[in-house]
Amino acid sequence: MKRFTAILSASVLLLMAQSAMSACPGVLDHKMKNLDGEPLDLCTFAGKVVLAVNTASYCGNTPQYKGLQALYDKYRNQGLVVIGFPANDFGSQEPGTSAEIKDFCELTYGVEFPMVEKTSVVAEQANPVFAELARMTNDTPEWNFHKYLVSRDGKRAFSYPARMKPQDPKIVTRIEALLEE
């Protein structure tokens, strides 16, 4: 009987730990649409390290798509997800429709990481994810390809400026540290 109770207690503790780990942090507790217009529940990324990036198709930083895809390819099996947030907030450099954005990203840069439909990332118009990330970091995007890196538990976020390339050692080192936690 004692053994059964110990096994049951261990099972309950394991379920509680799994439930806590899979709880959706506030920064991801949002539903958006992907570029196909289908619902995308960002809670599906709970427990992963998230790199959220505001993107644009006609920007000097647009080649960063290649680096973002490379990070996704290298670290996704370890728990990294890159999420693109196309925005037309800076210089009108994302004028296209969701279908045009999707075609451009897939055909030009082979983007396979999740992307939401065109949104806003600045000021009062910011989508709820970017509004929360700005609050968490005290930093807002000043241009296309601003990057926010979020810990697995969603309690910590780090901000990186648009000019910093995805393979910058500061970003890669932080990704690797967060993946090890």
Using the 8-state DSSP alphabet, how is residue 112 labeled? -
User: Helices (DSSP H) in 26-127: which residue ranges?
Assistant: 64-75, 98-109
Token pair belonging to 26 = 């506030």
Domains of the chain: residue spans and CATH: 24-180 (3.40.30.10)
Phi-psi region of 154 (alpha: psi -120 to 50; beta: other; left: phi over 0): left
Per-residue confidence (pLDDT) for residue 7, from 0 to 100: 53
- Identify the pLDDT of residue 19: 43
Q: Which residues in the chain show pLDDT less than 50?
A: 8, 11-20
Question: Which residues are part of the catalytic machinery?
Answer: 59
- What's residue 123's pLDDT? 87
pLDDT at 85: 98
pLDDT in the model for residue 20: 45
pLDDT of residue 41: 98
Q: What residues contact residue 102 under an 8 Å CB cut-off, 6+ apart? A: 35, 36, 115
pLDDT tens string 56-88 = 999 999 999 999 999 999 999 999 999 999 999
Tell how strand 39-41 and strand 31-33 pair up. antiparallel
**C-alpha to C-alpha distance for 23 and 111, rounded to whole angstroms:** 28
Looking at residue 18, its pLDDT comes to 45
Q: Per the structure block, which two tokens stand in for 92?
A: 């009108």
CA dihedral for 108, 114, 118, 121, sign (positive or negative): negative
- Distance CA(126)–CA(140), nearest Å, equals 10
For 158, the token pair is: 């780090």
Q: What is the Cβ-side half-sphere exposure of residue 104, based on CA atoms within 13 angstroms?
A: 20
Calculate ∠ Cα 164-41-98, nearest 5°. Answer: 65
61 and 162 Cβ atoms separated by less than 8 Å: yes
Q: Quick one: pLDDT at residue 1? A: 57
**Chain-centre distance of CA 21, in angstroms?**
18
Any idea what the Cα angle at residue 70 is, between residues 25 and 31, rounded to 5°? 30
List pLDDT tens digits, range 9-21: 554 444 444 444 5
